[in-house]
Amino acid sequence: MDVTFLHPWALALLPLALLPFLRTGRPVIVYSWLPMIPHDRCSTLAGALYRMLGAATIGLVVLGIAEMTRGETKVERLGQGAEIVLLLDRSRSMDQSFYTVTRVEDLRPTLASPTSESKISVARRLLSQFTSSRPDDLFGMVIFSTLPIEVLAFTQKQAVIQSAIAASAVGKGIGETDLGLGLERALSLFEGRPYTGSRIILLVSDGGAHLDVETRERLTHLFKQNRVSLYWIYIRSFRSPGLLADKEVDAQTADTVPEHFLHQFFVGVGMPYRAYEAENTEALQKAIDDVNRLERLPIQFTEVLPRRDLSQHCYGAALACALALLAMKVTEVRRWV
């Protein structure tokens, strides 16, 4: 255990702990013949214990004054979950109202009505529920619009994770969106980490993006190199044709449905990939539940425990020693005065 002291100068007082072992002048017991007095082992042991408790009390108080602390430690843990990067779209369109879409048998939207929540609010609420239901996962978080921002490095601490998700709704989104940079930043969180379990990027976005050839090649390499799976929860906008997974799109409409071509690119990368079209809160919840159900494999990770203040423990132990000294003093029996 790495032990440090915030006030090391106080350790100069440690020699005071030797004071109880110094013999002081005591009144001599006058007796005609001392060898007649039997040897009392219990009293001898009690006297030694008395001195040791006194020395321990002084030494512990000195360590408390020096503010003894335990340094940062690493603990290997084994859980059931995954390493998940939440990649959240913070473009301006995510601030728009979330529409509830009603469908009929031919799967065409027949009715769309805005809800009281924005898309980012719905996404934030469900991501909060998702992360809180997976205590063994390691979560990182990146938000993106024009440029990506790494909000959270991998951690298992729920208070930090929930605060990061809540902070994603602060302010207004930006009009431009660069999904390529966002994916690259999310993939960079896995670089240099040992592969100990499932790796996932959970993309939550309401639109696609045009990726140039260099970006597509770079993303393909990074996905395969880091062995990362991708889950895309596509929050469908009002009147959007969606991912159109089973339909052909001509070049004239390519600019209006970039999400379709982005979806086709993800399918062709060769990584584990799933896409969900969340048209309402129920569909979005179902997508979150599906991810929650599929990714529960054993995972090994190293947890870093922060520095811990041990001075309070020192004072507590010193108090216990002092109370023991008091108890011995109260129960002391003097046979001669």
The CATH number of the domain where 277 resides is what? 3.40.50.410
Average pLDDT over the chain reads 78
Same structural domain, 95 and 227? yes
Does residue 7 sit in the same domain as residue 137? Answer: no
Is a pLDDT exceeding 60 seen at residue 110? Answer: no
The span from the CA of 275 to the CA of 245, in Å, is 10
Residue 304 has pLDDT above 90, yes or no: no
Does 209 lie in the same domain as 63? no
pLDDT band with cut points at 50, 70 and 90 for residue 102: low
Per-residue pLDDT at 208: 65
Alpha helices in 189-304 (DSSP H): 213-226, 258-269, 281-294
pLDDT of residue 193: 82
Same domain (yes/no): 110, 228? yes
Q: Which residue has the higher pLDDT, 71 or 297?
A: 71
- 225 and 87 in a common domain: yes
- Looking at the structure, do residues 65 and 182 belong to the same domain, yes or no? no
pLDDT at res. 239: 59
Is residue 296 very low, low, confident or very high in pLDDT (cuts 50, 70, 90)? low
The confidence band for 70, taking pLDDT boundaries of 50, 70 and 90, is confident
Q: How confident is the model at residue 309 (pLDDT cuts 50, 70, 90)?
A: confident
Question: Can you tell me whether residue 5 is helix, strand or coil?
Answer: strand
Is 214 inside any structural domain? yes
Classify residue 171: in a domain, yes or no: yes
Check whether residue 49 and residue 95 sit in a common domain: no
Same domain, 204 and 326: no
Residues 166 and 211 in one domain: yes
**Domains: count for the chain:** 2
Same domain, 194 and 157: yes
- Residue 337, classed as helix, strand or coil, is coil
DSSP secondary structure code for residue 92 in this structure: G
159 assigned to some structural domain? yes
Q: Cα angle vertex 281, ends 276, 283, to 5°? A: 30
pLDDT at 337: 47
Q: Does some domain include residue 336?
A: no
**Is residue 63 domain-shared with residue 87, that is, in the same domain?**
no
Round to whole Å and give the CA distance between 299 and 292: 15
Q: Please indicate, yes or no, if residue 335 is contained in any of the structural domains.
A: no
pLDDT over 60 at 3, yes or no: yes
Q: Is residue 28 part of a domain?
A: yes
Amino acid letter, residue 94: M
Nearest Cα to Cα of residue 187 among 138, 216, 226: 226
**Percent of the chain surpassing pLDDT 70:** 72
Average pLDDT over residues 85-113: 64
Verify that 152 and 209 share a domain, yes or no. yes
337, part of any domain: no
Q: Is the pLDDT of residue 119 over 60?
A: yes
Checking if the pLDDT of 25 tops 70, the result is: no
State the residue range of the domain holding 9.
Answer: 3-71+307-330
Tell me how far apart the alpha carbons of residues 137 and 273 are, in angstroms, rounded to a whole number: 19
